[in-house]
Structure formats: C-alpha cells, structure tokens
Structure 1
C-alpha cells in the first residue's frame, strides 16, 4: 500500500517540517500487522513528495484472531496487503500523528495555512459504487480522479472490481487532509481490520470535527465508519445541523413571544449593530460558518472590507454561495473568505478595525482558549473585538435544564467566569472591556447570551 503527498508550496521542502519527517532520512516503524516506511522520492524547493509505504505481513495477518472463518482461504488470500483501507489509516496515524493535530514545531504559522496538495493512492478499496470517492472527497474541496482497476476481464465470475487508483488535488491544511484520509479510507473500504468499539465514536468525532457535521454524506460516513446501530446513534447525537440547530437548545425556549426573532438572529443583529456603532470599515468574522453575520454587514456601505474565516471548507463554500460571490464580481474587492484556524497566528488577520467571535469560544477545548486569546488579541489585534457566548446560569430556566445547550459545546461559562476571562485577557493585551446582555434576561439567572466588547485602550498621554 502506498500514499504519496505532493506540494508545490514555496519552498516545497517545508512539507518536511509539517510532517515532522526529514526529507533526507528514511523512517521505518513497526506495526502490529507489518511495517511502514516514510521517505521522499522528490524534495526540491519547487516540488516535494513524501511517501508512506505500508508492508503487511500476510503470515501474521492470517494468524490474527479475526483473520477469517476456519476452513476457508480468506485468511490467506485477500486484498488486505495491497488495497488501501483501514491498515493504511492506522499507519497514517502512526507515522503522521503530530501533523494530524495541526502542530509544527518549526513552521507553526504554515501548519494553519491551506497549501496546494496532491494525494495519490495507486490502489484503494472503494466498495459502494463508482461515484463513492467523489461523493466523499468532492464536498471537502478536492478535485477527485478515481480510475477503476480491473481484476481480470476474462473471468467475470470473480465478481465486482472495487478497486480504484485515487488522486485528490486541492488546497487545504495538511492536518485536514490527513484527517480526511484517516476517516474516509475505511469508509471507502466499508470494513475495518480491527474490533469496532465505543472508542471509535470518539475517533470519528475528533477527526471529523470541523468538516463531518456539515458533510452532505455525513450519515453514510457515520454508518460505514461505525457499522453498529448503537454506535451510529451515539455519534449522531453529537451532530448539530447548522441551519436547524445553530441556536442550540436555547432557541426552543425563546418563542414565548412569537413576534420576537430567533435567538441566533437576535444575537447576530446585535453584533452587527455594535460593529456599525464602532465605526469600523474593515471587519473580520472569526468562525464565520455559513456567513450569516457577513450577510447582515454586506448592505451597510460603511463596511469597505469584510473577511470571513472558518476551519470548515464546506461552510466557506456555503457562505460563498449564499453571499453570491460568483454571481457578483463587484464584491470580490470587498468580501473575502479565508480557510484558517485560530489555533495559529495568521498574518492575514492583522490590521482590522473590528472582529467578531460569535458563539465560538464554547466549541473549543478549554486548554486552547489561551492560544486563541493570544492569537486574536495579542497577534491580530483588531481595534474592537465583539465576543458572545452562552450564559450557563440561564440554562436553569429551561423546561428541561441541561448542563450544556448542545453536544458540540465543550464548556459554558457563568457570568462571573466569562467576565473573569475577559477582564484578564483585556489586561494582558492592552484592551478595555465592557459587558452587555443579549436576548431574554432573567431577574436571577441573567441573560440567555452574554457579550463582551473589547476596545484597544488609549495610549497614555506623555507626562
């Protein structure tokens, strides 16, 4: 089994820093079913290719407990050593585990950027129809080339020909591309070589974060990756469909007064008003999703430049469609959509008058908050920053109180916790901060949503 990763990013040899593998060395790693080799067939500043070669030991494979049924040849004669699937996915995670997390010790800024990539696999098991590779990888922004590989046309009784030579071309963060392969190679194959237990749900959710929840084939991917109904149901409980559940459980409780807009709309309207009142002309929407805030800002002539940033390539495609960027070329100088992560400093985000983080914080692991704060307030440094997040105290007023409003939230703050974080961040990076309630306000539990407005502190006058 072979996977090659090629880039023409300049200098292309930076691929070695992203993969944490030196182009002049060959890395050999033992695996439970054989071994893997990482090497570079080509390494020049113009074009660099890294290769992952996996050699499966067929004897060891035949002795595995799950090798096959007794009395059959299946444990000894099969496609496992040759057709990429779950074996390659495991080797990929073993060889490039650090790269999959989006970290690079020597090129942290590049790890967060999308670069041109070509991913080639000469033989992939693709059981599920000739269009399956395109259905799985196409929505992620790849150009998909899947060439069928015949068995032997002289012996049609040998059955289907579920093998393709697969090439994917696109511009993506390397970590995203590796996670796509890690999840979708076993999905293409439709089987795994190891026991599927509850820990597979966590793997799917972790490596699918940021793209799987909005993938049009999400249900198919989940079903083929997990196979068992109970595990599939468990995974689906964690998904939130943006158009239907973007406001979370809270929106079920805001309809007491029918004329009032949905909480999510009310929140976006309030943020748009604050941005307009700030006098900003150049605005960043950090975690823009499908562009709902950008669509509110676009008709206001005050905003000369609008930039949306999101980790999900699919969400950015939807945002571009709903903003009608392809149909309105006059907007190209005014509206940009960037694929990026707030986990890394990004020079493209510097110099803006204002930025918004609307319901973003609670979707991050708590240990990543300091990094986000540093990258936004310390590195990008917009003159004004608007942050909204749920108020956990308000959850007690719901008909069915819940600790978190929907499963994708990693935490939710009380008013005191949110204000403590915001005040510490403001002091650390030279901002003043004020707080405002959003939406319904309970006399005891406070607002359903809380807002912090950061503004750069005026420099001290010379004495």
Structure 2
C-alpha cells in the first residue's frame, strides 16, 4: 500500500485465478478508471495484476479545477471545513460507491457470477483514519469477522493512521463490511439518516451482522439515536424516556427565544443567520417586524437549495421579507457580513473543532462586530435525561459543554472586546441538569 495525501482503499488478493477480480470489480486492468464526483477526482488502478495476485487501489482527491471554476455555485465547501473530510469516512465511501457498485452488489457479467461467492486471501488497507476508538476496540469490530488487524502510523502515533485487514473472504462480503464499519469507526456521517439507511444496513449486514458480538454498538453508531430508539422499542426494550416536549419542540423553542430577543432589540434591521441550513430560522425571521435584511449563510449547497425553496413558498405572504442566501463559511471572511445589527449561530459552534473556535470568535467579535451576537449550543449535563451515556446528541458534534464550561468559554471569548455576555437556558429546566439548550447573548457596548 502506497501512503499518500489522498483518501484511499487498497484491495490486495491472492489465490489461483485471482485475476477474476477485475471482472468482479468490472474494471479493466489495462485502463485507468477516472471519474469526477462532487468536486473530487476518483481514480482506480491496478498496482499488480497476475493470475495469482492482484492489487487495486482506489482513491479520491479534491479536483482543483472544479473547486476553482464552480466555487460560487456547485461545490459544497463543507468538505473543507473540518479535517475529518480528508479522512476515510462515509464521505469517502459515497465518492467511491459508484466505482465499486459491481463488487458491492455482486453483479458481474453472467459468466463470472460463480466467482462472487468464491473466497480469496484478501488484504484491505485504507486510510487515513481519524477515530476515537482504541486499537483493542477496533480489533473487537474486525476480529470477529475473521480479519487480522494491524495499524500503520506513517506520521507517528496519535496522527491519522491506516488500517490493514487480512483474512479469507469474498470481495462482496469484504466490501460490504467496510461500508458498514468505516462510518462506525469514524463516528461521522455527512448525510441525513433515514429509513433507507436502515435498509442499507440490513442489506450490507446480511449474513454477518446478526451474529457479530458488537452488533448493538454497530447499529447504534450506524443509525444513530432516532433509529436506535425505534429498534429498541420494536424489541420491547424500554430505554429511559425522553421528555416528549423537548423531543418534539425544542428546536421551535430555540427559534422562539431568538426571535423574542430580536423583537426586544433596539437595532434589528440587518440579521446574519450563520449555518442557516435549510432555512427554518431565516424563514421565521422574515416575518419579524422591523427586519429589513436577512443574510442566510450556509456552506452546503444542498441545504441552501432547500432553504431557497422554503423562502419561495413563504414569499406568497405579503409581509414576508425574503432572505438572501449566501454560500459561505465561518472560516472564510466575508466583507458583506460586517457591522450588522444581529448575528446568529444557532446550534453551530458544537460542529466545529473547539481549538478552531477562537479564530472564529475573533473574526466575529473583532471584524464583523455585530451589535448583537446570539449563540445557542447543547447543555451536555442534560444528556443524562436522554440516557446518552458518553455520546453526544448528534454524530457530527465535536464537543458539548456543561453550563460552567459554556459560561467560562463565553467570557473568555469576549475578553478584550467591547461585549457584555448574558447566559441562560432554553427548554424545560431540570433541577439537577438545567435546560437542554444554553444560550449566550453578546451585546456590543457603545465606545
């Protein structure tokens, strides 16, 4: 396996007539496979190809031409916000799924169908991997599948590393196991998890997942909490009840509190909704009296398209103030966002690596200088009510803070800037754990 900067998966196989692998993958060893997918170049090539030994590598790298040419329209810069996007994860798997579809589905040409269930000695090597799981925990996932697991740390311990799996299996089974377990070990999914994800897990997990000793852990990580709770209910296992009001309307309560604060503000003509997603909050802001400009800033093109549709539907109301969508990120300075009356980060900061937040806050408080900055984030203490154990509320959260930690963080970030902090809770308050959401309002003092 050649170590490079790109996300990659190497498939190495040995055995009599193993060159049939090219037909199982539907990739000609004489040709370089190259496609462009979502701003990435996907390549598959053979390092070695004989009757008894085959090695194929597939990798993905950002396409600089597409990134430059279509930057304002088609490319989703969410891929460049967090370092995890450069690691092998569900994003990488989505990039290479089309290239490996014949192998995953076990549907080569008819004359090679008999080889779909044929076992060879395989080595699957992939990386870089960024995971919080310890080596023994990783061995607990792959060992029961018959794989011998080893690790490569090309840049030293603690750095993103590469996993090497050796075992006797079929190509289809091996690929399907990787498609289930790679998102589990990365603990990150970049797309919405719905009923199709359950169906995919059942399909790819057929024949091995039901007997895996870590089955519950895998399902929990693969489907996350909504589907996990549903499965527990179907199995007549009763989890600790989640407060029904919070489960249904906590998001609405956040929006209502934010709008309440804006209504009470003296200056509210211009508002920036950072991380506006599919536009739910920005739509509500469009009906607030006194608001003249709403900038809905979002790095995801897909979410921005959903927001635009939502805004157009709301535009049928005469009193709706149409928000302006801006394709942008907290990590890219934008002159258009300076000196607005209100800036909002609703459930945003916890999606950013905490050591990168200082620079974000310095940009907001030091350069954008809104008169009012509103930040909401989960209260990690309240997770006890959800019976989440050591898990965060969302698979993409990089951290969650206690009330004390959040208070300290807010005051530290405002230090040196002319802002006063006001911190409170949102949602039903528990006597021991506080409210599920915490909110800080940074109010700029007149100089």
Q: TM-score range by the shorter chain?
A: 0.5 to 0.7
Shift of 1:451: 1.1
When normalised by structure 2's length, the TM-score is 0.59
Whole-Å Cα distance in 2 between the matches of residues 250 and 346 of structure 1? 45
Q: 1:268 to 1:393 in 2, by over 3 A?
A: same
Partner of residue 66, structure 1: 13
Shift of 1:410: 2.3
Whole-Å Cα distance in 2 between the matches of residues 375 and 240 of structure 1? 36
Q: Tell whether the 8 Å contact from 1:362 to 1:409 is kept in structure 2 after alignment.
A: yes
Whole-Å Cα distance in 2 between the matches of residues 401 and 90 of structure 1? 37
Residues 278-287 or 367-376, more deviating: 367-376
1:82 to 32, 50, 53: 32
Q: 1:233 to 1:313 in 2, by over 3 A?
A: farther
1:186 to 68, 73, 96: 96
SS at match of 1:188: coil
Whole-Å Cα distance in 1 between the matches of residues 343 and 78 of structure 2? 26
1:452 aligned onto 2:401:
no
Q: Tell whether the 8 Å contact from 1:390 to 1:412 is kept in structure 2 after alignment.
A: yes
Partner of residue 374, structure 2: 386
The within-5 A match list for 1:413-428 is 413-428=401-416
Whole-Å Cα distance in 1 between the matches of residues 439 and 95 of structure 2? 42
Q: Tell whether the 8 Å contact from 1:115 to 1:174 is kept in structure 2 after alignment.
A: no
1:255 aligned onto 2:245:
yes
Structure 1: state its 5+ residue gaps: 1-30, 37-60, 100-112, 119-140, 143-169
Shift of 1:403: 4.9
Whole-Å Cα distance in 2 between the matches of residues 261 and 221 of structure 1? 27
SS at match of 1:252: coil
Residues 416-425 or 178-187, more deviating: 178-187
Partner of residue 183, structure 2: 201
Shift of 1:454: 0.2
Whole-Å Cα distance in 1 between the matches of residues 410 and 94 of structure 2? 39
Partner of residue 345, structure 1: 333
Q: Tell whether the 8 Å contact from 1:226 to 1:232 is kept in structure 2 after alignment.
A: no
1:267 to 254, 263, 272: 254
Whole-Å Cα distance in 1 between the matches of residues 386 and 226 of structure 2? 19
Structure 2: state its 5+ residue gaps: 35-41, 46-56, 105-122, 126-174, 210-214, 231-238
The within-5 A match list for 1:10-89 is 32=2, 65-66=12-13, 69-71=15-17, 73-74=19-20, 78-80=27-29, 81-84=31-34, 87=44
RMSD across aligned C-alpha pairs, in angstroms?
Answer: 4.8
Provide, for residues 68-125 of structure 1, a one-character-per-residue CA deviation record: whole Å limited to 9, x for no partner.
x5136525785244323563785444xx59x8xxxxxxxxxxxxx985439xxxxxxx
Partner of residue 223, structure 2: 237
Whole-Å Cα distance in 1 between the matches of residues 252 and 240 of structure 2? 13
Q: 1:358 to 1:327 in 2, by over 3 A?
A: closer
The within-5 A match list for 1:5-404 is 32=2, 65-66=12-13, 69-71=15-17, 73-74=19-20, 78-80=27-29, 81-84=31-34, 87=44, 90-93=58-61, 116-117=69-70, 170-173=74-77, 175=79, 182-189=92-99, 190=101, 191=103, 194-195=124-125, 197=178, 200-201=182-183, 209=190, 212-213=191-192, 233=219, 236-238=222-224, 252-255=242-245, 262-278=249-265, 279-324=267-312, 334-398=322-386, 403-404=391-392
